[in-house]
Chain A
Amino acid sequence: MANATFRIWRGDKSGGGYKDYPIETSEGMVVLDAVHQIQASQANDLAVRWNCKAGKCGSCSAEVNGFPKLMCMTRLNTLDLTQPVTVQPMQTFPVIRDLVTDVSWNYEVKKTIQKMKTRKPDASDGTWRVNQRDVDRPQEFRKCIECFLCQNVCHVLREHQMFSEFVGPRFFVYAAALEMNPVDAADRVADLKDKHGIGLCNITKCCTHVCPEEIKITDNAIIPLKERVVDEFFDPVRKLFKMFKG
């Protein structure tokens, strides 16, 4: 394969810039391989977070040619190598160094989502009887590897930085997994509307486009949660109907 140039952002929270690294590429390489090659041969101090190299740990999130991607899942043969390949850290979170960002805000946000509250057990031995069909739906959300690419691309966080009012797509997926769980009895709908800012999502579907696990974040998590908010707060006829039904 031809030579390629990687234009990597180097710096820390005080600032930085792009630096070019020419490398020899080979068949089957991914962007993370290229970054490792550069780290080994040209820039020993290049900071990059990685772990599994298999798209399952969600550590190597970055922006390749301006698009949020996992570096380990971005093959070089999908990129135009006649031009320098730009690799930069996720833009939404504070940079620690080079390609490494501080994503700890996400862990704090997760604590604000109401935990699972199990309903009364179905059997006398304290267990539940759950149909596989009802488990399949929240199961999709369990595929999330917490790479935070969806948080990075969401313009409410990225452009408008509404960190204190909006939890972001990752945590709507997390809330949906709990909310749709047939064993769960907690009600998160009021929190979703008031505390977690689901109304700020304007359904651009960018989160769905970047998800490496191909979770249909918008269609299967966010919109169904928005509809549950409508049930509770914006549908007077349904409310009236429920009132009469008891």
Chain B
Amino acid sequence: MPSIDVPVRNGGFGQTSRRDNWWLAPLLTFIGLGAFVLYANVRVFQGDHYHFGPYLSPFYSPEIVGPSPHAWFQVAARPAWWPGFLPFSAALLVMWAPVGFRMTCYYYRGAYYKAFWADPPNCSVGEPRKSYWGERSWPLVIQNIHRYFLYFALIFIGILAHDAWKAYWFADGFHVNVGSLVMTLNPILLGGYTLGCHSFRHLIGGGMDEISKSPSRAAAYDCVTCLNKKHMVWAWCSLVWVAFSDVYLVLCSTGVWQDRRIF
């Protein structure tokens, strides 16, 4: 590869001739993602107030082993095989999949490299470090695992859709409560985010040079592309709604809010 000699003119971190509020977008990302990570950690390790009536918090779904009636394998207390140093939480058994999916997502990668690592802080703005490895070597080469997390994320949409269906079935039969709608919006937004994933777009047909030879894959590729165009919007809406669904359950189960019945 040819090389050229360019005198280094960029003085350092934050140096730029830009006049706009270039710091605002990374700051909002930092606040938004930081707040979500903090809240999720608190809720995951809390291990309480994660179900209310037919609703189950998306942080804890699917509840593989746990004390709630939603659990696949119901246990009254902490299982004997659970590591002693770790507080028991059913969420820890499942959270790795959605966390891994979002952490390796192409949109989030670009966003958190800017917001949390200032690499770069924003376009044509000076960086704090001179060394750079990118995603070519360890540890960030692991980002290439994204499609494997996608497979799990697709399964999770099915599970959360099942949770949404169950959210309409109360002890006295079928009803629609505000909580039912909250739980329904969750798999819809997550579906919009997951099905618009760049890896999914590639696997569904983007990897083919002659997609016209497979009309069904071509149609699927068009749908995924349509969602992919607003991937960032889907990513944020689904993230906020996961947190809100959990907040709704906490407030209902602690009696602060009432889960109003629509019919």
Considering the complex, which residues of chain B in the window 160-188 have a beta carbon less than 8 Å from any beta carbon of chain A?
Answer: none
Q: Is B109 an interface residue (CB 8 A)?
A: yes
Would you give the 0/1 interface string for A66-96, flagging 1 where the beta carbon is closer than 8 Å to chain B?
Answer: 1110000000000010010010100111100
Expressed in whole angstroms, the minimum distance between the Cβ of B255 and any Cβ of chain A is 45
Q: Given A91-B124, A156-B132, do A228 and B19 touch, yes or no (CB 8 Å)?
A: no
Which one of B19, B131, B135 contacts A199 once the chains associate, using CB atoms below 8 Å? B135
Considering the complex, which residues of chain B in the window 1-35 have a beta carbon less than 8 Å from any beta carbon of chain A?
Answer: 1-10, 16-20
Expressed in whole angstroms, the minimum distance between the Cβ of A182 and any Cβ of chain B is 5
A153 and B123 form a contact (CB under 8 A): yes
Expressed in whole angstroms, the minimum distance between the Cβ of B146 and any Cβ of chain A is 8
Considering the complex, which residues of chain A in the window 207-227 have a beta carbon less than 8 Å from any beta carbon of chain B?
Answer: 209-210, 218-219, 223-224, 226-227
Q: Is B233 an interface residue (CB 8 A)?
A: no
Using Cβ atoms and an 8 Å threshold, which residues of chain B touch A163? 1-4, 6
Expressed in whole angstroms, the minimum distance between the Cβ of B42 and any Cβ of chain A is 30
Report how many residues on chain A are interfacial, defined by Cβ distance under 8 Å: 65
Q: Given A66-B16, A153-B123, A159-B10, do A200 and B135 touch, yes or no (CB 8 Å)?
A: yes
Bound CA–CA A108/B4 (angstroms) = 10
Which one of A67, A91, A108, A231 contacts B2 once the chains associate, using CB atoms below 8 Å? A108
Stretch from B56-64, B82-90, B205-213 contacting the other chain: B205-213
Report how many residues on chain B are interfacial, defined by Cβ distance under 8 Å: 56
Q: Is B152 an interface residue (CB 8 A)?
A: no
Expressed in whole angstroms, the minimum distance between the Cβ of B160 and any Cβ of chain A is 25
Considering the complex, which residues of chain A in the window 79-118 have a beta carbon less than 8 Å from any beta carbon of chain B?
Answer: 80, 83, 86, 88, 91-94, 102, 105, 108-109, 112
Q: Is chain B's binding surface mostly helix, strand, loop or mixed? A: loop
Would you give the 0/1 interface string for B69-86, flagging 1 where the beta carbon is closer than 8 Å to chain A?
Answer: 000000000000000000
Instruction: Identify 6 new A-B residue pairs, CB closer than 8 A, beyond the known A102-B4, A219-B231.
Output: A93-B4, A94-B5, A94-B7, A131-B213, A167-B1, A202-B113
B: which residues have CB within 8 A of A? 1-10, 16-20, 106, 109-110, 113-114, 119-120, 123-124, 126-127, 130-137, 140-141, 144-147, 198-199, 201-203, 206-207, 209-213, 218, 228-229, 231
